[in-house]
Amino acid sequence: MPVNGDSAGRPPSRSQVRRTPRIGITTYLEPATWGIWQREAALVPRVYLEAVVAAGGVPLLLPPVGTDPSVLEVLDGLVVAGGCDVDPGSYRAAPHPETVDTRPGRDDHEAVLIRAALDRDLPLLAICRGLQMLNVTLGGTLHQHLPDVVAHDEHRPSPAVFGTTEVKIEPGTLTAQILGERADGSCYHHQALDVIAPGLKITARADDGTVEAAEVEGHDFALGVQWHPEENPEDLRLFTALVRSAS
């Protein structure tokens, strides 16, 4: 609770006031329609915002324009959101025929924010593409088309339809502290982690071996998951843990 100032009746200083944690969320530039307008806009699905608010935080949107890592100085936590494919040029690979929807500018933007968040030990939750960006930023690579590896497309069952994946979580990890030994998640992706970056520890896998969660070693809260926890408003444990760590 905010304090009431001092005995002289002066208002509390900023350092005396306990504010609601400010959680930055990365956004992306996409063609959008509102009213009579059809223009490019910075956007992120509303479910991310609602998840942060329900977990006790205040969402602040971070567009991939005018990237400045000093913006993290006003944040208490960071969510790297899901979205399109990571550009294979980010990890020096030729594009797969199925890698057709990339945003290199967004990749660069998020890589800067990820590095800055880790440098500051800012609580970080990376979701789906966000986990992939976390791995690539730290020096890892991706499977560009997961069906080539696991021989099925259950992680992306059909256009705009989420699948469900069950993951087995490594005991003794932050992921296990939050979610327990197993968890179910909404998934929609055809890329996944391949070569794991130095300092990134796998903490969960799907039954087919797909990496489903990883943590950055040496940080209190730097966690990525391959599924979409924002899609399940009945299970906000990951967002709640992020906000608690950011408090």
- Catalytic pick among 109, 143, 155, 228: 228
**Active-site residue, 230 included:** yes
Q: Which residues pair with 102 in a beta bridge?
A: 85
Q: Which amino acid is at 99?
A: T
List for the chain the helix, strand, coil content (%; round to 5).
Answer: 30, 30, 45
How far, in Å, CA of 43 to CA of 69, rounded?
A: 19
- Of 103, 176, 191, 105, nearest to 144 by C-alpha is 191
Strand-pair category, 163-169 with 182-187: antiparallel
Cα torsion angle, 9, 10, 14, 16, sign: negative
Q: By the 8 A CB rule, do 181 and 171 touch?
A: yes
CA angle, residues 169, 173, 178, in degrees to nearest 5: 75
Contacts of 156 (CB under 8 A, 6+ apart): 146, 163, 187, 188, 189, 190
Query: Is 228 designated active site?
Result: yes
CA distance 180 to 173: 9
Active-site hit among 110, 128, 143, 231: 128
Question: Which one of the listed residues 110, 212, 215, 230 is annotated catalytic?
Answer: 230
- Determine the residue type at 19: R
Active-site annotation, residues = 128, 228, 230
